[in-house]
Structure 1
Amino acid sequence: MNLIIIIVPLLMMFLLFRSQKKRQAQMQNTQSSLQPGAGVRTIGGMYALVKAVNDETVELEVAPGVVAHYTKGAIAAVLEPLEYDAIINGRPAEDEAVEDSAEDAAVDADADEKPLSLSKDEAKADAEAPESK
């Protein structure tokens, strides 16, 4: 029984330190992948472009012509170029083209159909005289 009291806390400490080391390694990988021109998200949720990487800081362009200095630890994620573009400029152009063509097809299909009516009289008339196609 006394052995369990000693082993359980040691096991918990081991697991906590292990997860902390994983997070530190992931953060170091994120910080080492910072390059000028990369899109990033800060821990505050702000999206920006990396302008320059220094020893301890990063220069981020938060708006056209506006550069701010952040510590490397403030970078939560380095984004893929397409993901950054989709967030900043809305959806990528290829997604809009696909959705527009789907909407056009749906409008064309709806044009052939009769408008929906919730009237009981019209429902009875439709049930008694089905349309021939």
Structure 2
Amino acid sequence: MEQLGAFIPLILMFVIFYFLLIRPQQKRQKQVRQMQSELKKGDAVVTIGGFHGTIHAIDENTVVLQAGDGSKLTYDRSAIREVSVN
């Protein structure tokens, strides 16, 4: 019985750690994956590197972004951080 009492604080710390750190991170990753799967041509986006552009073309793994000067750059779909609201 004493051994079980020694594990209770450890178990409690794990439960607190899960609800404060792990679970919110999993929810955020799910939201990012959903946003990246819903990308479409014409969306204004920001990459993880800070590049702002408009989606010119898109396929399963890559997106072609068009900059304000008309130049086009190809990125992995996972490099899109957010869809910006203009």
| TM-score class normalised by the smaller sequence | 0.7 to 0.9
Stretches of 4+ aligned residues off by more than 3 angstroms: none
Structure 1, gaps ≥5 residues long: 84-133
Aligned-pair distance for 1:46? 1.4
Instruction: Choose between structure 1 and 2 for higher RCO, CA contacts under 8 A separated by at least 6 residues.
Output: 2
How many corresponding residue pairs?
81
Structure showing greater Rg: 1
Q: Is 1:61 aligned with 2:40?
A: no
* 1:6 to 2:6 alignment: no
Which structure shows the higher helix fraction?
A: 1
Report deviation, 1:14.
4.5
Q: Which amino acid aligns with 2:14?
A: P
CA distance in 1, matches of 2:11, 2:40: 47
Q: Which residue of 32, 40, 52 corresponds with 2:37?
A: 32
Give how far 1:40 is off. Answer: 0.7
Identical residues among aligned pairs (%): 35
Matches within 5 A, 1:40-119: 40-80=45-85, 83=86
User: Which amino acid in the other structure matches residue 39 of structure 2?
Assistant: L
Aligned 8 A contact 1:33 1:78 in 2: no
Q: 1:39–1:78: 8 Å Cα contact kept in structure 2?
A: yes
What are the ranges of 5 or more consecutive residues in structure 2 without an aligned counterpart?
none
Give the letter for the 1:58 counterpart: V
Q: Over the residues paired in the alignment, what is the CA RMSD in angstroms?
A: 1.8
